Amino acid sequence: MNVFRKFKFVLILIPLAVFIAFFDGLIMDDFLTSNEIPDHFRFIGVLILVVSVLLYLVFLFDKNINE
């Protein structure tokens, strides 16, 4: 169980890697080349959401370490 506590940050990095791979595939499939405004807003919205969740997890992780 000590190993799990030591490498808890990996649980944050795995979803991040999946997210990056998913969006990389979308962009490579010409997702944003249509120049449609809703596509760009959707892309930016999802990026903001994912970054917010990751920041929350990092702050939560940091708070648990300091306790």
Closest CA to 36 of 28, 47, 44: 44
Nearest to 17 by CA among 63, 50, 42, 40: 50
Residue type, 51: V
* Sign of the Cα pseudo-torsion (65, 19, 47, 49, in order): negative
* Cα 64 to Cα 20: distance, rounded to the nearest angstrom: 26
Number of domains in the chain: 1
At residue 5, the pLDDT reads: 66
**Entry pTM:** 0.61
Domain containing residue 53 = 2-66
How is 14-25 classified by DSSP, letter by letter?
HHHHHHHHHHHH
Q: What percent of the chain has pLDDT over 90?
A: 1
pLDDT at 4 > cutoff 80: no
Output 46 or 27, whichever has higher pLDDT. 46
**pLDDT value, residue 43:** 81
